[in-house]
Amino acid sequence: MIYKFNVRDVRFPLAAGAGSDAVHQNPVYSYAVVQLRDDNGFTGTGLAFTLGEGTNLVCKAAEFYAEKLLKCDIEELMSHFGETFNHLSNEQQFRWLGPHKGVVHLALAAVTNACYDLWARKRGVPLWKLLIDLPPEQLVNTLDLSYLEDELTREHAIQLLNENKTSQHTRMSIIKAGYPGYDTSVGWFNYSDDDIKVNCRKAIDNGFSALKLKVGSPEPERDIRRAHLVRDIAGNDVKVMLDANQQWTLPQALFIGKKLLSMNPYWIEEPTHPDDIFAHQLLAKNLAPCKIALGEHVSNRILFKNYLQLETAGFIQVDALRVGGVSEFISISLLCRKYGIPVVPHVGDMGQLHQHLVLFNHISLNHEALFLEHIPHLKSHFEQPVVVQDGVYKTPMEAGSSCNFKEML
């Protein structure tokens, strides 16, 4: 039984330049950390990610949700978590503050993630194993598929899981091989050209075969110069992704995007405002065959449904710390499976939680094991930080979802 919870506002300043992008010049990687304590001695930890200011608001909202889980037995709760998620996310007064977006939804993510962590810890298994071993009906019981009726009913979700269940064993080799990573930290926005060169060489030496560069400079020439600089060092066999972090207007994205095609980017990420679905549809058409990646600022399954329906994205970067936690992440992964669009999460969690979720997506949903973003800046703060060797995430074997901070033990 969950008898107690606590919520903490944890902030980690970064080294100069680290984490910077065209819009966020001085981020402080921060978390609303929810801990649910079970009277059997287990503690479930769940995170929501922020960039500093306002983390306290997310914490306050998380208390509102966590309070409602007191006295719940975790196994009983997870046997119908989809219903609970639906009730919490539609709490009739709090709902006005979203619905299903912004501070309240970030808070729900943290609480939801703590539930899944507690569940896995109590069962003594890593979250990825819990998820792949669940019978499809039980897994779908943890999802809230409301407002997806036109695309993904409960029956359809179970069918998708069953269809891929038979070949599941053929994909288990990923556990030993590890899940490929890509390096986001070679080209933060405020890094100098020289830093980028050094970082690129190091990333490639460390076994990464995919790198990301931040673009969105006031002068397009800077973006173009730096993109070619990375391509020159990376060669043609390494994938290079470009990330504008929403900085461009639609006309700018069309203009600069086309110019950047000459260095053959693997994707162009967040070219403009994350609410502008129609702009992304136009960009997808105009920048083809280069694909658009998006999702780190898309709040919920309904918005992702629209992004898929309107054929805007070649890669979906849903983040379980932005949408309503593991539960909604899985719903969105099912939608992407239906549409045949790869899920390549944004890692607000620095990969700690998502290393579990991409294994589930690959093994149980037969999503391609493309690669998972890797950002190393907070490794010293996690109790069991991700292990990335030779460009590959080593599979976590500890119970839970790997989201404990040393500071909070």
Cβ of residue 339: shortest distance to its own copies, in angstroms?
13
Cβ of residue 393: shortest distance to its own copies, in angstroms?
25
> Which of 6, 8, 10, 64 forms a contact with its own copies (CB under 8 A)?
64
Which one, 106 or 363, has the nearer CB to its own copies? 106
Q: Does 2 bind its own copies (CB under 8 A)?
A: no
Beta strands in 171-249 (DSSP E): 179-187, 210-214, 239-243
In angstroms, the CA 382 to CA 373 distance is 17
Which one, 61 or 200, has the nearer CB to its own copies? 61
Q: Does 7 bind its own copies (CB under 8 A)?
A: no
> Is-contact 361 131, C-beta < 8 A?
no
Q: Does 366 bind its own copies (CB under 8 A)?
A: no
Element (H, E) at 59: helix 55-67
Q: Does 309 bind its own copies (CB under 8 A)?
A: yes
* Piece of 114-122, 227-235, 274-282, 387-395 that binds its own copies (CB under 8 A): 274-282
Q: Respond yes or no: is residue 394 known to be catalytic.
A: no
Which one, 347 or 388, has the nearer CB to its own copies? 347
Q: Does 370 bind its own copies (CB under 8 A)?
A: no
User: How many helices (H) does the chain have, and how many strands (E)?
Assistant: 15, 12
Q: Respond yes or no: is residue 280 known to be catalytic.
A: no
Q: Does 24 bind its own copies (CB under 8 A)?
A: yes
* Piece of 181-189, 195-203, 276-284, 350-358 that binds its own copies (CB under 8 A): 276-284
Residues 65-124 that bind its own copies (CB under 8 A): 90-106
> Is-contact 278 250, C-beta < 8 A?
no
Q: Does 17 bind its own copies (CB under 8 A)?
A: no
Provide long-range contacts, Cβ within 8 A and 24+ apart, for 23-29.
23/216, 23/245, 23/246, 23/247, 24/51, 24/245, 25/189, 25/190, 27/51, 27/52, 28/52, 29/350, 29/377, 29/378
In angstroms, the CA 110 to CA 124 distance is 21
Q: Does 317 bind its own copies (CB under 8 A)?
A: no
Q: Please, is 107 exposed, middle or buried when counting C-beta atoms within 10 Å of its C-beta (0-12, 13-18, 19+)?
A: buried
Which residue out of 101, 129, 212, 214 is catalytically annotated? 214
What x/- string results for residues 206 through 245 when contact with its own copies is judged by CB under 8 A? ----------------------------------------
Residue 232: count of CB within 10 angstroms of its CB: 11
Q: Please, is 99 exposed, middle or buried when counting C-beta atoms within 10 Å of its C-beta (0-12, 13-18, 19+)?
A: middle
> Is-contact 354 382, C-beta < 8 A?
no
Cβ of residue 24: shortest distance to its own copies, in angstroms?
5
Strand pairing of 179-187 and 392-393? antiparallel
HSE-CB of 368 using CA atoms within 13 angstroms: 10
* Sequence-separated (6 or more) residues with CB below 8 Å from residue 92: none
Which one, 73 or 91, has the nearer CB to its own copies? 91
Which one, 58 or 244, has the nearer CB to its own copies? 58
In angstroms, the CA 112 to CA 65 distance is 9
Q: Does 339 bind its own copies (CB under 8 A)?
A: no
Which one, 91 or 383, has the nearer CB to its own copies? 91
Q: Does 255 bind its own copies (CB under 8 A)?
A: no
Cβ of residue 271: shortest distance to its own copies, in angstroms?
12
Question: CA of 388: how far to CAs of 182, 203, 231, 393, in Å?
Answer: 10, 12, 23, 4
> Which of 10, 18, 158, 277 forms a contact with its own copies (CB under 8 A)?
277
Q: Does 325 bind its own copies (CB under 8 A)?
A: no
What x/- string results for residues 143 through 172 when contact with its own copies is judged by CB under 8 A? ---xx-xx----------------------
List residues bridging with 269 in a β-sheet.
243, 293
HSE-CB of 12 using CA atoms within 13 angstroms: 23
Residues for the chain: how many in total? Answer: 409
Which residue out of 280, 346, 356, 362 is catalytically annotated? 346
* Piece of 2-10, 79-87, 297-305, 377-385 that binds its own copies (CB under 8 A): 297-305
Question: CA of 336: how far to CAs of 159, 179, 295, 321, 332, in Å?
Answer: 14, 19, 12, 18, 6
Residues designated catalytic: 214, 346
Could you list the residues that contact its own copies (CB under 8 A)?
23-28, 49-54, 56-58, 60-61, 64, 90-106, 146-147, 149-150, 246, 249-251, 272-279, 297, 299-300, 302-303, 305-306, 309-310
